[in-house]
Amino acid sequence: MDTLDDAASLHVTGGGPARGSLRVPGDKSVSHRALLLSALARGTSTITGLSLGQDVTHTRRAVERFGVGVTCTGDGRVMVAGPIRHEPDDVLDHGNAGTGIRLTAGVCAGIDGLSVLTGDQFLRRRPMDRIAEPLRAMGATVDGRVSGDLAPLVIRGSNLTGITYAPRQASAQVKSALLLAGLSARGRTTVQELHPTRRHTEEMLTAFGGRVTVDDTRVSVEPGELTATDVMVPGDPSQAAFWAVAALLAKGGEVVVEGLYTGPGRSDFVQIVQRMGADIGFDLATGTLTVQSSRLRAVEITGADVPGIVDEIPVLAMAAAVAEGTTVISGAAELRAKESDRISSTAAMLRAFGAQVTETEDGMVIEGGAQLRPGRVDSHGDHRIAMTAAVAGACAAEGEGITVIDDWDAVATSYPGFARHLVELTGAATVGDV
Ligand code: S3P
């Protein structure tokens, strides 16, 4: 861990255009699933490139509580000896990780025993009825605070029955929880999605020998055992998006990010910034993203776009603040249920840097043309707000003060070493207050 990772506040000043080439951490979504599917599978799976962020570390510890042996070899490989041997022997603490708790809940619903799942103060405020309701319909007993909606969750797994379920949200987390539970259900489990969401669970289930069918927004899994396999975790496109915007914001910026995930549903931000006029390319053969600073124009983002850029909206909003014209984001009410209320926290962050933004119920309207000036931002415990603010702070007009990001340590949930990469790419000076 870098010393700046656990700073309570980060001070950023004096950056230039982002220039350089780098690799970002292993994909967080793939990492959670690699651990959980390896735990469910018979035999030893080897995972390479696992995210070292706290979210994934919580999933790794959760997996161990089921009696699954996890060995880190020291050369970047993690060996997971499945299958799950018993109910978890203690409370599963998922920290800040919505993906961790929801996917693990799906696993818990399918095992014969009792599981208690919890998380930090932010996770304990996020809605869980979206998974509790369908898991109950499959036959599990799921309870939690506030009529079963909030963690801690108490799950008594049982003999499940497959269902067909249409979640009210386009959510890969909900879909994945049901597919994982469906592995041990009687009969087929089908999820009918509102819009297609990221496909990692389907891809990885197939790699582990699961029987999955995907027909656009309709995904089904048959019950069955999984067999251990090896997983190479690619770089996380959502983390690359910060450096893409860092390159776009300041004249002379030029960034190359290598080794990213190239599958569906994770690089839509590339098309969105292309629509904004960005000079950006994504080589699907190698997973290499190449970005050069560009003049940007406003864009319209609607509900169908949102699942593909759900994690990139804060940093795209920062790009929209400097673009020419008015950007309208709608159909993004799901953002209110993320690590923070991301409509409010993104709007407050943009304002702190001098942008004009109006919050709506399901999105925001951003007046472009802002000259970013240093500001003070509260991350509200949300890593993506903190990282966006750091990028903006490095690009903000020099000589006008210092950007301060409070609750900076949230960044360690997904991107330990982010501040070091910021310094290397932009030359910004960073100081952490512990
Ligand atoms: C994720 C799905 C998304 C995303 C989250 C990771 C996943 O959440 O925001 O960071 O790994 O399945 P929803 O599917 O609930 O929108």
* CATH number, domain with residue 316: 3.65.10.10
In a domain, 258, yes or no: yes
Residue after which a domain boundary falls, among 232, 267, 293? 232
User: 335 and 409 in one domain?
Assistant: yes
Mean pLDDT confidence for 296-302: 98
In a domain, 3, yes or no: no
Helices (H), 252-406: 268-275, 306-309, 313-322, 342-352, 383-395
- Please check whether residue 60 is in contact with residue 35, taking contact to mean a CB–CB distance below 8 angstroms: yes
pLDDT of residue 1: 58
User: 255 and 122 in one domain?
Assistant: no
Which one of 103, 130, 174, 198 would you pick to mutate in the ligand 1 pocket, going by the greatest count of ligand atoms within 8 A of its CB? 198
User: 164 and 19 in one domain?
Assistant: no
Tell me how crowded residue 365 is: count the other CB atoms within 10 A of its CB: 17
Atom of ligand 1 nearest to the CA of 310: 9
User: 398 and 363 in one domain?
Assistant: yes
Q: How far apart are CA 363 and CA 359, in angstroms?
A: 6
User: Which has the closest alpha carbon to 243: 278, 204, 217, 214?
Assistant: 278
In a domain, 142, yes or no: yes
In a domain, 246, yes or no: yes
Residue after which a domain boundary falls, among 203, 232, 261? 232
Residue pLDDT, tens place only, 40-70: 999 999 999 999 999 999 999 999 999 999 9
User: 160 and 110 in one domain?
Assistant: yes
Q: How far apart are CA 334 and CA 316, in angstroms?
A: 16
Residue pLDDT, tens place only, 300-345: 999 999 999 999 999 999 999 999 999 999 999 999 999 999 999 9
User: 180 and 98 in one domain?
Assistant: yes
What's the domain count of the chain?
Answer: 2
In sequence order, the β-bridge partners of residue 114 are: 156
User: 241 and 219 in one domain?
Assistant: no
Cα of 193 vs centre of ligand 1, distance in Å, is 14
User: Which has the closest alpha carbon to 256: 277, 284, 281, 276?
Assistant: 281
Cα of 351 vs centre of ligand 1, distance in Å, is 26
Helix H or strand E encompassing 98: helix 98-109
For this structure, is 216 an active site residue? no
Q: What are phi and psi of 56, to 5 degrees?
A: -75, -35
DSSP 76: S
In a domain, 2, yes or no: no
Q: How does residue 74 score in pLDDT terms, banded at 50, 70 and 90?
A: confident
User: 413 and 286 in one domain?
Assistant: yes
Residue pLDDT, tens place only, 344-403: 999 999 999 999 999 999 999 999 999 999 999 999 999 999 999 999 999 997 777 899
Ligand 1: which residue has its CA nearest to atom 15?
A: 171
User: 208 and 65 in one domain?
Assistant: yes
**Does the CB atom of residue 334 touch ligand 1 within 6 A?**
yes
The pTM for the full model equals 0.98
Which one of 310, 336, 341 would you pick to mutate in the ligand 1 pocket, going by the greatest count of ligand atoms within 8 A of its CB? 310
Structural domain that includes position 134: 28-232
In a domain, 137, yes or no: yes
In a domain, 22, yes or no: yes
**Does the CB atom of residue 29 touch ligand 1 within 6 A?**
yes
Residue after which a domain boundary falls, among 216, 232, 248? 232
Cis before 83? omega within 30 = yes
In sequence order, the β-bridge partners of residue 219 are: 191, 214
User: 145 and 277 in one domain?
Assistant: no
- Please check whether residue 27 is in contact with residue 51, taking contact to mean a CB–CB distance below 8 angstroms: yes
User: 218 and 281 in one domain?
Assistant: no
Q: How far apart are CA 178 and CA 135, in angstroms?
A: 7
Cα of 326 vs centre of ligand 1, distance in Å, is 27
Atom of ligand 1 nearest to the CA of 197: 14
In a domain, 88, yes or no: yes
Which one of 32, 128, 171 would you pick to mutate in the ligand 1 pocket, going by the greatest count of ligand atoms within 8 A of its CB? 171
- Residues 6 or more apart whose CB falls under 8 angstroms from that of 251 comprise 17, 293
Q: How far apart are CA 155 and CA 179, in angstroms?
A: 17
Terminal Cα distance for the chain, rounded: 14
User: 95 and 57 in one domain?
Assistant: yes
Beta-sheet strands, E only, within 145-253: 150-156, 160-161, 164-165, 185-186, 189-192, 211-215, 218-222, 231-232
